[in-house]
Amino acid sequence: MKHFILLFTTLAILSCTNSKDSYTLSGNALGYADGTKVFLYGLDQSNQTVVLDTLEIQNEQFQSEYPNTTETSVRILKVDGSNANVLFFVENEDVLAKIYADSVSASHAIGGKENELYNEFIAANNAFGKRKAGIREAFQNAQSNQDNDLMERTRQENLKLSREEKNYQRNFATQNSNSFFGLMLISELVSKNEITPMEASELLAKLSPKLASHPLAKELSIAVENAKSAEIGGIAPDFQAPTPTGELLSLKDAMGKYTIIDFWASWCRPCRLENPNVVHVYEKYHEKGLNIISVSLDREGQKELWVQAIKDDNLSWYHVSNLQFWQDPIARQYNIRSIPATFLLDADGKIIDKNLRGEALEARIAALLD
């Protein structure tokens, strides 16, 4: 469920469908002792969880009343001292959460169209997960028995299942695009390059007027347009940001014969693991015309961590950061949803490749500069 929390770029929508001026959140908490606390979380403007209320379990139940809003909101219930958490949507309709102490994965909430769609999608994802687990077990058995034929068959079966899962997600998102949850899925698929920006634009054009005016739809529309400009073949958008010493540096100032824009952060372990490869390529090809400008997504107040990571990893090229985490304007400009992320530019600023790492990065630069 945490995976989907990261998708919520805003909390909003939809007009009130309930004639009451409030809705009831009820819960069945089976297997939990009286007095156990249940925390109700929402998301702030930075998509960080904040506690909105604390409820208490009595006789395996809890309940509270909340005023209606003009927005559909994302909420999370978390039981104190337990891994149990339930994500649900508030649509100004009564919500019933069912939380099982002995079966966290079965815990869920019902009430309203969005929760119905979410539960349907999660059930399908869980089914795919069980099938994947079966294939992994079969592969491990084949590996133990050194059965190469069976290992290859399970590999092919896994590839086929992965394609089936991606097709399901695409179809579900497109068939339910006129919903809040559908929009979140489209946003996720765009970030994973499983729906093209053009396909996303077509889906956005078909939204109802109400949903099209929703902040999530507007946010996704901006992201899609940014993704179009940051595609291979496009001209990389220029930007300007502070260096570690405080001066402003633009992309144009950092350009070489070929230039890598590298999005990373000191807290990003995959980025730090990839840095030695980038250092190797830079040291080998900088004199031949390769420049790098790294854009850090470090947090506000953590400049020291950013600067120390540059020193520790021997990153002797251009660096900038607005220290705004995922809200960094350059990251939004380039539609960055995960890091590390890289863009390779030619001398004219045209994007000629993306997200090259390790041996693939060195091979591409070698082909250009050797």
pLDDT, tens only, 195-246:
888 888 888 888 888 788 877 888 888 888 877 778 888 899 999 999 999 9
Which whole-number Å values give the CA distances from 44 to 35, 75, 77, 157, 183, in the listed order?
Answer: 28, 11, 16, 42, 19
- Give the range among 17-21, 67-71, 292-296 with minimum mean pLDDT: 17-21
CATH for 240-369?
3.40.30.10
Domains of the chain by residue range = 2-111, 116-229, 240-369
CATH architecture of 2-111: Sandwich (2.60)
Which carries the bigger pLDDT value, residue 66 or residue 370? Answer: 66
Locate 258 and state its tokens: 């070929």
Strand partners, 29: 99
pLDDT, tens only, 177-197:
888 898 888 888 887 778 888
pLDDT, tens only, 134-163:
999 999 999 999 999 999 999 999 999 999
Q: Are strands 108-110 and 95-100 parallel, antiparallel or unpaired?
A: antiparallel
Asked if residue 62 lies in contact with residue 29, where contact means CB atoms within 8 angstroms, the answer is: yes
Residue 15 pLDDT class (50, 70, 90 cuts) = very low
pLDDT, tens only, 86-136:
999 988 899 999 999 988 888 999 999 999 999 999 999 999 999 999 999
Q: 312, exposed or middle or buried, with CB in 10 Å at 0-12, 13-18, 19+? A: exposed
Share of the chain above pLDDT 90, in %: 67
> What is the average pLDDT across 7-29?
62
pLDDT, tens only, 321-364:
999 999 899 998 888 888 999 999 999 999 999 999 999 999 99
As a three-state string, the secondary structure of the chain is: CHHHHCCCCCCCCCCCCCCCCEEEEEEEEECCCCCCEEEEEEECCCCCEEEEEEEECECCEEEEEEECCCCCEEEEEEECCCCCEEEEEECCCCEEEEEECCCHHHCEEECCHHHHHHHHHHHHHHHHHHHHHHHHHHHHHHHHCCCHHHHHHHHHHHHHHHHHHHHHHHHHHHHCCCCHHHHHHHHHHHHCCCCCHHHHHHHHHCCCHHHHCCHHHHHHHHHHHHHHHCCCCCECCCCEEECCCCCEEEHHHHCCCEEEEEEECCCCHHHHHHHHHHHHHHHHHHHHCEEEEEEECCCCCCHHHHHHHHHHCCCCCEEECCCCHHHCHHHHHCCCCCCCEEEEECCCCEEEEECCCHHHHHHHHHHHHC
The pLDDT of residue 18: 47
* Predicted TM-score (pTM) of this structure: 0.66
The pLDDT of residue 1: 44
The pLDDT of residue 19: 53
The pLDDT of residue 337: 80
- Averaged pLDDT of the chain: 89
Residue listed under structure tokens 């929390």? 5
